Amino acid sequence: MTNIATSDVHAALDRAAEQLMNAAGPDGIVSRRDIRAKLLELEGGERALVDIFYQFVDRRDAARSARITRADIDAALAVVRTDLVDRFDLDANGLSDDEVARMSELGKLAVALARTLKEATGPVGEALAREFGARAQGLMFEGYFASESSMPIEPFHAAAQVSSVTRETFRAALGLGDGPQHEIVRFEPAERCLQAFVGVFESMPELELHEPAAELVRFMKAHLRELTAIVLGRDDPALGAEHPLYIVGIDAGGGLTGIKTAVIWT
């Protein structure tokens, strides 16, 4: 088997760390209950890596089994990258099978997920956005951010390279101005938004749209990292009731990609 770049393994670990943070409650802290719920959403190698990475973070805490924070996760991630991944790449040309064989279970699971993600890498950018659009056919957005109407879903891609999804990188990628219509009024991990989106169709089985909605969400999670829900536009009657909603993440090419819809506030 060909060598796997340490940067690809780092990306798999970053994905696991992001899953931990997505599990956090409104207080930004990940509890045991939070992680149990998150693991139920995941499958295969990603589930195994997130589970063992959580255990690693937990063991580093003096008060074992206490709740963990973003700082705990970032500190543990730095240690794993350096001590459990990079130091095994002895000749700095990627991890060979022999080098992987000497790694810890956490390291091996990170390598396995990195290989899976590379093999699964399909379309990126505009092509990936078109795939999202095709899977969203017949679906409408509602059920979150207190929207009062069903809204159509469109594919979205910004022609910009981003290293992380932040308010600043999002504003720059879209070229947003300083006006109230471009004010970011909601910015949060997309997990709860996507769960609510699927839940709407689950509650209406007669529409037979629950599985297409769930498949769209699975496809987005498989191809994007740092999925984030973002609503624009100050809540001002003078600006109208419709507010753009972007559910976006970073694709395998480093682009900002996802879907665009809207919420109605009256």
**Does the domain spanning 125-264 belong to CATH 3.40.1460.10?**
yes
Q: Which of 57-66, 77-86, 126-135, 137-146 has the lowest mean pLDDT?
A: 57-66
Confidence at 9, pLDDT banded by 50, 70, 90: very high
6-120: CATH, from 1.25.40, 1.10.357, 1.10.238, 1.10.1060: 1.10.238
pLDDT in the model for residue 206: 86
pLDDT in the model for residue 62: 59
* pTM of this structure: 0.59
**What are the pLDDT digits (tens) for 154-206?**
999 998 888 889 999 999 999 999 999 999 999 999 999 999 999 998 888 88
Q: Find out whether 257 and 251 touch, Cβ atoms under 8 Å.
A: yes
Q: What is the mean pLDDT of residues 98-113?
A: 95
Q: Find out whether 126 and 100 touch, Cβ atoms under 8 Å.
A: no
Distance between CA atoms of residues 225 and 128, nearest Å: 13
Distance between CA atoms of residues 15 and 21, nearest Å: 10
**Which residue type does 109 have?**
L
Structure tokens at 227: 């999925």
pLDDT in the model for residue 1: 58
Q: Find out whether 233 and 183 touch, Cβ atoms under 8 Å.
A: yes
Cβ neighbours of residue 215 under 8 Å, at least 6 residues apart?
Answer: 135
Give 95's strand partners: 4
pLDDT surpasses 90 at 60: no
Domain with CATH 3.40.1460.10 in the chain: 125-264
Confidence at 2, pLDDT banded by 50, 70, 90: low
Averaged pLDDT score across all residues of the chain: 89
Domain with CATH 1.10.238 in the chain: 6-120
Distance between CA atoms of residues 65 and 142, nearest Å: 37
**What are the pLDDT digits (tens) for 108-125?**
999 999 988 876 666 889
**Spatial CA neighbour of 198 closest among 243, 142, 246:** 142
- The alpha carbon of residue 99 and the mean position of all alpha carbons in its chain are separated, in whole angstroms, by 29
**Which residue type does 214 have?**
A
**What are the pLDDT digits (tens) for 208-261?**
899 999 999 989 987 888 899 999 999 888 889 999 999 999 887 788 999 999
Query: Percentage of the chain with pLDDT > 70?
Result: 95
Question: Between 115 and 104, whose confidence is greater?
Answer: 104
pLDDT surpasses 60 at 65: no
Return the H-helix or E-strand segment holding 129: helix 125-135
Q: What is the mean pLDDT of residues 44-53?
A: 94
Q: Of the spans 59-68, 129-138, 157-166, which averages the highest pLDDT?
A: 129-138
Distance between CA atoms of residues 263 and 173, nearest Å: 21
Distance between CA atoms of residues 3 and 23, nearest Å: 32
Q: Find out whether 226 and 165 touch, Cβ atoms under 8 Å.
A: yes
pLDDT surpasses 80 at 47: yes
